[in-house]
Amino acid sequence: METNKIPSADAWLREAKADAAASGCGMFLLHNGVVRRSAKARVRAGDADAPDVRGMRFSYDREKTAGFCGATAVLKAARAGLHLWEEPSISGENGAGTVFFSGCGLRCVYCQNYEISGGAAGAEITVSRLREIFFELIGRGAECIDLVTPTHFTPQIAEALRGGLPVPVVWNSSGYERVETLKRMDGLVDVYLPDFKYSDPAAAKKYSNAADYPSVALAALREMYRQTGPLRFSEKGTLTRGVQVRHLVLPGNLENTYGVIDAFSSLFPSGEAGFSLMSQFTPTPACEQYPELNRRLTAEEYEKAVDYMYLCGVENGFVQELSSAREEYVPAFDGSGVLPQADRPPKADTI
Ligand code: SF4
């Protein structure tokens, strides 16, 4: 794409989709065409300087009793394996070496990982076993170590990462994290892959019971960027450093999405952080209580969100095929890869 021309949003999207079809991937990178920046889009950004980051629902005082996140102080994970469904710059050719931790401090009503976010599924492991898992995944060709919902286990994970790893470490989190917590990972995490779910406190309250999510997440994103600086890629195109923000478009909540895109484009210098606009919303049983959420995203809604991203001049943005809204992207949380080979129940070996 010639960067000195201003193509239409449709042409921009068509070109990106053609690239995706050629690569066989359902998620694709929009070319770096900073095109125009709407003045209106800059106005609604939240306050990233908010010093008060109370409200996170986990603490490190959980000795034996599970906290809101569903976890105790003992490490627990539900699956460890190579995962091909992250952004191409994370999964690369071989897949991300992903560890899904049990429990989550947010508990969104639409959580696709609800089997594990409540903390029930999974096996308890030691810090040294976690480090062993990292090397097992690296031995299988993992492009990175991808830590999913890690925040409530920050101290244990920090310990497991001491000594470093030969591949990038990816912190794949909800974005609802204290700045002080993230500071504990400074120098240990190479790539932050946070969600940025809400700009609208009312939606954050309604779906995740966390009205302070927008201000907390903005402060967290700023800290992540302070640690990593701009995006850096390996020769083969995988991320080695930086912040890649994700936003799942919720049905019936486009204003929330517009506000997220506004805030993202105000917070980061153009092109220095990535943005993934996710279309894969799939209603969970809990969504039955929220009629607006109890359906898939329409093509029209997603196109409006993509257009808005275009209007805001977001560079390094990933979009998805709407057909990505499928349950298959959620792996089986069967404990595979978590326990040492000798300790695994026979069934887990055959899954
Ligand atoms: S933050 Fe993610 S893992 Fe946690 S409850 Fe929400 S959707 Fe599920």
pLDDT tens digits, 94-114: 999 999 999 998 989 999 888
Contact 73, 85 (CB under 8 A): no
Helix (H) or strand (E) holding 318, with range, is strand 317-320
What is the rounded distance in angstroms from the CA atom of residue 223 to the CA atom of residue 264?
14
Nearest of 82, 39, 94 to residue 236 by alpha carbon: 94
Task: Answer yes or no: is the C-beta of 148 below 6 A from any ligand 1 atom.
Answer: no
Tell whether the model's pLDDT for residue 348 goes beyond 60: no
Q: Which residues pair with 96 in a beta bridge?
A: 83
Average pLDDT in the chain? 82
Spell out the alpha helix ranges (H) of 52-178.
88-91, 114-117, 127-139, 154-161
Q: Is residue 351 part of a domain?
A: no
CA 130 to centroid of ligand 1, rounded, Å: 22
The CATH number linked to 43 is: 3.20.20.70
Q: Is residue 347 part of a domain?
A: no
Ligand 1 atom index nearest CA of 107: 5
Q: Is 107 in the pocket of ligand 1 (CB under 6 A)?
A: yes
**Which tens digit of pLDDT belongs to each residue from 253-296?**
999 999 999 999 999 998 999 999 999 999 999 999 999 999 99
In sequence order, what DSSP letters do the residues of 80-109 get, joined into one string? EEEE--S-HHHHTTT-EEEEEES--SS--T
Determine the structural domain holding residue 198 and report its residue range. Answer: 9-47+72-336
Does residue 58 fall inside a structural domain? no
In a domain, residue 55? The reply is no
327 secondary structure, DSSP code: G
Smallest CA separation from ligand 1 atom 7, residue: 111
Cβ–ligand 1 contact at 83 (below 6 Å):
no
Atom of ligand 1 nearest to the CA of 113: 8
Residue 220 lies in a domain: yes
Looking at per-residue confidence, does 7 or 313 come out higher? 313
Global pTM exceeds 0.75? yes
Determine whether the shortest distance from the Cβ of 151 to ligand 1 is under 6 A: no
Whether 64 maps to a domain, the answer reads no
Structure confidence by residue, pLDDT tens digits, 117-127: 886 789 999 99
Residue 348 included in any domain:
no
Whether 250 is in a domain gets the answer yes
Tally of structural domains, the chain = 1
How many Å lie between the centroid of ligand 1 and the Cα of residue 283?
Answer: 13
